[in-house]
Chain A
Amino acid sequence: KAGVTQTPRYLIKTRGQQVTLSCSPISGHRSVSWYQQTPGQGLQFLFEYFSETQRNKGNFPGRFSGRQFSNSRSEMNVSTLELGDSALYLCASSSGDSKNIQYFGAGTRLSVL
C-alpha cells in the first residue's frame, strides 16, 4: 500500500499570497488531519476531516481552511500569507479502526518571504 503523499514537498511564497497544499491518504483511510510544525510552537493541530466533514479544528485564524474530497484526498489553504506561516505542514491519515494510529506524510515545507 502506498503511504500518505503530500505535494508539493517545498513551496516558496511571498507575503499576501495564498497557497494550497495537497494530501492523499493511505487507500481506504477516511480521516485526514493536518498539523503545523515550527521550531517555536512545535506541532500544532490544524484540523481533521472525516468523510468530507470537518470534525475538529485547532486554534488557528480563519485564513487557514481545508476540505476533503469524496476520494478522501484533502487540501488545506492558507490565504494572505504572513511570515509566521513559514512551517512544515504535516498531513496524517487514519483508518478509523480501534488501533487509532495516524500515519504521517513527509510534509510540505512552506517558506514565506
Chain B
Amino acid sequence: AQTVTQSQPEMSVQEAETVTLSCTYDTSESDYYLFWYKQPPSRQMILVIRQEAYKQQNATENRFSVNFQKAAKSFSLKISDSQLGDAAMYFCAYRGRMDSSYKLIFGSGTRLLVRP
C-alpha cells in the first residue's frame, strides 16, 4: 500500500524568506502523480502544485517549486518570498497513474506559520 509521510508538523518562516516543506512517500508503482495542497483556515483545499513522476523536470508555479527526487521518493515544496497569505496547512498527496479512480493518499500535513 502507498503511504505519504510529512515529518514536520509545523514550520515557521519570516515574511519574504524561503521555506521548504518535506514529503516522502512509499510506492511500488513506477508512474504516479504527486500534489501539494494548501488548506487555509477557510478549510477549502487549494492545489498549489502538481508533479508527474515520469517527468524529470521539477514543477514550478510562480513562488512555489518542488524538488522531486524519484529514487529517494522525496517530494519537497519550496516557497520563495513567503507572504502572510501563505500561512496554512500544507498537504502532500499521491495518486497512482494506473488507478482507475481519483483517490488521493494524503500525508498528515505541515502547518506553516509566517512571521511578519
Residues of A participating in the B interface, judged by any CB pair closer than 8 Å: 31, 33, 35, 42-43, 45, 48, 50, 55-56, 58, 88, 90, 92, 94, 99-107, 109
B68-116: which have CB < 8 Å to A? 91, 95, 99-109
Interface SS of B by simple majority: loop
A92 near B101 (CB under 8 angstroms)? no
Residue B101 contacts which of A50, A105, A107, A109 (CB distance < 8 angstroms)? A50
How many interface residues does B have (CB within 8 Å)?
Answer: 23
Residue A42 contacts which of B37, B95, B99, B108 (CB distance < 8 angstroms)? B108
Which B residues touch A94, using CB under 8 A?
Answer: 102
A45 near B45 (CB under 8 angstroms)? no
Residue A55 contacts which of B47, B95, B100, B106 (CB distance < 8 angstroms)? B100
